[in-house]
Each structure stands twice: as structure tokens, then as C-alpha cells.
């Protein structure tokens, strides 16, 4: 294995530049760990004549993605362009058909087309490596596929989006509302100009689909995922949760039930301030797994950015250079099961309910009557009145009940004449 491992880089944005920096600065240590040198042969990006802060003059500039995908000199293509369909999907398919490994941070592509692409890779005796697609610099894919391979994984929980975690952290620490903190996150570069994928939970959902497929040996199924973002979380919710001993986090959860059914959801949830995941703040990500023999593990780190993402990409490249061509979802695609997915409504849990209502007598009695009608009982509540607009906040923590019953109760509450806005309903997760 003395010949160099030859790669092409598609995409020279923040992450692509990070990969070049690592290869240029750490060439000797990378070669020692890979068993041979890693050689960049060609690159391609949207604009050729652009100062990227790294010297790319020694590399060929590919005429097109198609040319790179068919370049017989290359052992692997590093895809850092993004997108889930069209040209980028065709590029990856062509590269696989031409016997090239793929290394990618593209969680959307794999969440939507991972099964078909995995089949194509197997048919061509190559693989798709995607450590960088989930949780940035946290080596969770390798952990699930290798370190925990002897375990039956029962659940995976995670904070999978640094933008949302930053916003929720800042809201708690400063008392500001969502829109204000989002503006700041965009100014600092933590959120995109169009933040939809982040704050509406879609980015985290793409990552969770891949974790669930790998953890449970099932086909990735993005359409089966319940997704809820954080736009409706207010600074009052953050404060009330803190008063009750909780923090609000956007939690990705995939777990198996005793009957073999699976559930996956992305939603803001309350977690105890005593839990390890509650202490994961700012732009950091964390992933917690539960296995039948290993019990609980948790990994924390930066979920995005030049360094962490490039680090994960290089780890995959080194694996491929060594000849470690791992199965994409841990088992051959023919052995991936089609999961019987269930929604969050089947869960039995406690919940947080925040009702904004008129500040007058009888309101609490009306609300509790609605909960009783749905067979939901109250564990504790907080009442805060005398707001500037004449409203009062009623905050309830329910006893454990079926989530569908609690949803029904909140729907009844929403119909009360005294209720001024749609109530906030959040699950309390014992992580």
C-alpha cells in the first residue's frame, strides 16, 4: 500500500478549505496514520479565481463535477457542495459507478437517498463515508458502527443543531426573545440568512435519520420523522422551565420500543438541569446512546465549522486509505429492515403546558376541567398574572400520561374563550 491515496475535492467553501489546511499542515502525521500519503489531485468549486487563503496551484481544476466523477486517477471524491437532488445526486451516483469512494458531510443527500446510494456503492465495491454529516467533530458514526457494534442500541438522543442550541442558550442567559437572538446568531455567522433548515428542525432531522438507521439497522426514512422547531419558544418558557428545574433543548430522539417498533422525533423538550445533556450549551452538539451491554454513553463537541468538520472528513479519508471500507449503515443493505415507525403520540411522558389566558377568576378551574376531560392530571403548576396586556400565564406540569391524551387536553384548552393564544406544549424527557 505504498502508492498515495488520490482524492478530488468538490467544494472549496469553509470545510473544503479546512480539509486542504489539514492535509498541508499535517501531511506527515496523516501519512503515518493512513499508511500512505494522501494526495489531492483535482479540485472544483463555483469560482476558480478566488482567494481562499490556501494555495491550490498544485492541484488540477476539474472542468465539471461530471469530469471529476469519471477521473480514473482518483480513489475517492470528497463531496462538500451540498444539496440532496439534481446535479449533486447525479455527481455522487456517477462517482460510485466509476468505482470511487465518497466522503461527504451532506446529511440531506443521505437522509433522502441513503438507502439507494448505499446499494449503488455496494454494487460497485466502494463505500460512502459520512462521519462529518452528523454532529461535526463528534465521531458518533464510528462509535455506533465500530465501538458499540456488539451492543443492541435501544435509543439515541442528541442535541444535533448548534444554531438552535446557541439561540436557546442565549435566550436563557439574557432573557431576550427568539427573534432578537436569531438576528444576533445571523450576524455572528451561527445562522444562515435563511435559517429555516436550522430553527425549524430540518437540519437536525437529517442527522437523526442517519443515526437511527445506523443504530437500529433500518432503512433511513426521513418522511417518517416528526419534526418541530423552536420558533414558538419564548423567553417566558425558558424562564418557567428554569423555575421548575429544567432547560429547554431541541432534542433529536430515536428509540426502539419493547414490541420492536421504532420512533424518531425532533422537538424542543424539557430536560432536567441535573442531566448531562442540559449542560451542553452554545454551539455545541451532544449525542447520547443507550446499549444493552454498554449502558449509557455521551459524546460532546462542536457540531460545525471548518476545523471540526474537516477533522471528521480527514478521519474518513484515512480509514479509506488504510483499506477500511466500512458498511455504510453497519450491515449490508439487503439486511436493513423496514422499520415500523410510530409517532411521538404513543409515548407515555410528563409534559409542560404554558397557557396565556385572561387574568380573571375561574380560569384555572376551566383549564383543569379540560385536562380532566382528557384524563390528564396535574403534577404542579405556576401562575403568573398582571402582564402589561392584561393576561396571565398558567404553567402546568402534568403527571405521566399518554402524549396523545395530553395533546387532546391542550386542544380542548385552546378552545376556551379565556385562552388568548395557542398553548405551548413540550414533552419532558428523562435523559
Rounded to an integer, the average pLDDT of 115-132 is 97
Segment (H or E) for 33: helix 27-34
Examine the pLDDT at 386 and tell me if it is beyond 80.
no
**CATH code for the domain in which residue 21 is found:** 3.40.50.720
Greater confidence, 49 or 296? 296
Domain boundary residue, one of 312, 344, 376: 344
Segment (H or E) for 28: helix 27-34
One domain, residues 351 and 382: yes
One domain, residues 269 and 151: yes
In a domain, 332, yes or no: no
One domain, residues 87 and 38: yes
- Are the C-beta atoms of residues 192 and 216 closer than 8 Å to each other? no
- Are the C-beta atoms of residues 183 and 163 closer than 8 Å to each other? no
One domain, residues 14 and 103: yes
In a domain, 312, yes or no: no
> Considering the chain, what is the average pLDDT of its residues?
94
**CATH code for the domain in which residue 397 is found:** 3.30.70.260
Query: pLDDT value at position 325?
Result: 85
Q: 136-140, 187-191, 417-421: which range is least confident on average?
A: 187-191
One domain, residues 153 and 112: no
317 vs 323: CA distance, rounded Å? 10
Enumerate the β-bridge partners of residue 354. 395, 424
Examine the pLDDT at 1 and tell me if it is beyond 60.
no
pLDDT in tens, 218-260: 999 999 898 999 999 999 999 999 999 999 999 999 998 777 7
Query: pLDDT value at position 67?
Result: 97
Residues spanned by the domain of 377: 347-428
What's phi and psi for 390, nearest 5 deg? 80, 15
In a domain, 325, yes or no: no
Q: Give the pLDDT band (50/70/90) at residue 2.
A: low
Examine the pLDDT at 388 and tell me if it is beyond 90.
no
Q: Give the pLDDT band (50/70/90) at residue 305.
A: confident
Beta-carbon contacts of 420 under 8 Å, excluding residues fewer than 6 positions away, are 356, 357, 358, 391
Please identify every residue annotated as catalytic: 207
CA atoms within a 13 Å half-sphere pointing along the CA-CB vector of 177: 4
Rounded to an integer, the average pLDDT of 89-107 is 97
One domain, residues 282 and 376: no
Domain boundary residue, one of 287, 322, 344: 344
What pTM was computed for the model? 0.94
68 vs 77: CA distance, rounded Å? 8
One domain, residues 158 and 292: yes
Enumerate the β-bridge partners of residue 97. none
In a domain, 74, yes or no: yes
pLDDT in tens, 159-180: 999 999 999 999 999 999 999 9
Beta-carbon contacts of 271 under 8 Å, excluding residues fewer than 6 positions away, are 246, 247, 249, 251, 277, 278, 428, 429, 431
Domain boundary residue, one of 114, 133, 152: 133
**CATH code for the domain in which residue 164 is found:** 3.30.360.10
Examine the pLDDT at 108 and tell me if it is beyond 90.
yes
One domain, residues 164 and 270: yes
Rounded to an integer, the average pLDDT of 34-58 is 93
One domain, residues 115 and 157: no
One domain, residues 66 and 146: no
In a domain, 329, yes or no: no
- Total count of domains within the chain: 3
In a domain, 315, yes or no: no
One domain, residues 91 and 173: no
One domain, residues 295 and 368: no
Query: pLDDT value at position 341?
Result: 86
Percent of the chain with pLDDT over 90: 84
Amino acid at each position: 500500500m505504498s502508492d498515495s491515496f488520490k482524492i478530488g475535492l468538490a467544494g472549496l467553501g469553509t470545510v473544503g478549505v479546512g480539509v486542504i489546511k489539514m492535509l498541508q499542515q499535517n501531511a506527515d502525521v496523516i501519512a503515518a496514520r493512513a499508511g500512505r500519503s494522501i494526495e489531492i489531485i483535482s479540485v472544483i468549486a463555483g469560482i476558480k479565481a478566488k482567494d481562499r487563503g490556501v494555495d491550490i496551484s498544485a492541484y488540477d481544476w476539474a472542468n465539471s463535477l461530471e469530469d471529476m466523477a469519471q477521473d480514473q486517477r482518483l480513489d475517492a471524491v470528497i463531496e462538500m457542495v451540498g444539496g440532496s437532488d439534481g446535479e449533486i445526486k447525479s455527481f455522487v451516483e456517477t462517482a460510485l459507478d466509476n468505482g470511487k469512494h465518497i466522503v461527504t458531510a451532506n446529511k440531506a443527500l443521505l437522509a433522502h437517498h441513503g438507502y439507494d446510494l448505499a446499494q449503488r456503492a455496494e454494487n460497485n465495491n466502494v463505500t460512502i463515508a459520512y462521519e462529518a454529516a452528523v454532529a461535526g467533530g463528534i465521531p458518533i458514526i464510528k462509535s455506533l458502527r465500530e465501538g458499540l457494534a456488539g451492543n443492541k442500541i435501544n435509543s439515541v438522543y442528541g442535541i444535533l443543531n448548534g444554531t438552535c442550541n446557541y439561540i436557546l442558550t442565549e435566550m436563557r442567559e439574557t432573557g431576550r426573545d427568539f427573534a432578537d437572538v436569531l438576528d444576533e446568531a445571523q450576524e455572528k455567522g451561527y445562522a444562515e440568512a435563511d435559517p429555516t433548515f436550522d430553527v425549524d428542525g430540518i437540519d437536525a432531522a437529517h442527522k437523526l435519520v442517519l443515526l437511527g438507521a445506523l443504530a437500529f439497522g433500518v432503512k433511513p426514512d426521513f418522511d417518517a420523522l416528526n419534526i418541530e422547531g423552536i420558533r414558538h419558544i419564548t423567553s417566558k418558557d425558558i424562564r418557567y422551565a428554569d423555575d421548575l428545574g429544567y432547560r429547554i433543548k431541541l432534542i433529536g430522539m430515536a428509540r426502539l420500543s419493547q414490541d420492536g417498533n421504532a420512533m424518531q422525533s425532533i422537538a424542543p423538550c424539557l430536560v432536567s438541569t441535573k442531566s448531562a445533556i442540559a449542560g451542553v450549551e452554545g454551539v455545541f452538539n451532544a449525542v447520547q446512546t443507550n446499549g444493552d451491554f454498554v449502558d449509557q454513553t455521551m459524546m460532546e463537541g462542536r457540531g460545525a465549522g471548518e476545523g471540526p468538520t474537516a477533522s471528521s472528513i480527514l478521519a474518513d479519508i484515512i480509514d479509506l486509505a488504510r483499506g477500511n471500507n466500512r458498511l455504510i449503515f453497519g450491515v449490508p443493505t439487503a439486511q436493513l429492515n423496514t422499520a415500523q415507525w410510530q409517532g411521538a403520540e404513543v409515548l407515555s411522558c410528563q409534559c409542560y403546558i404554558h397557557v396565556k389566558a385572561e387574568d380573571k377568576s375561574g380560569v384555572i378551574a376551566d383549564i383543569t376541567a379540560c385536562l380532566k376531560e382528557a384524563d390528564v392530571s396535574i403534577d404542579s403548576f405556576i401562575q403568573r398574572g398582571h402582564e402589561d396586556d392584561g393576561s396571565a400565564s398558567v404553567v402546568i406540569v402534568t403527571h405521566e400520561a399518554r402524549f396523545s391524551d395530553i395533546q387532546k387536553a391542550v386542544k380542548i384548552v385552546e378552545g376556551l374563550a379565556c385562552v388568548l393564544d395557542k398553548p405551548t406544549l413540550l414533552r419532558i424527557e428523562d435523559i
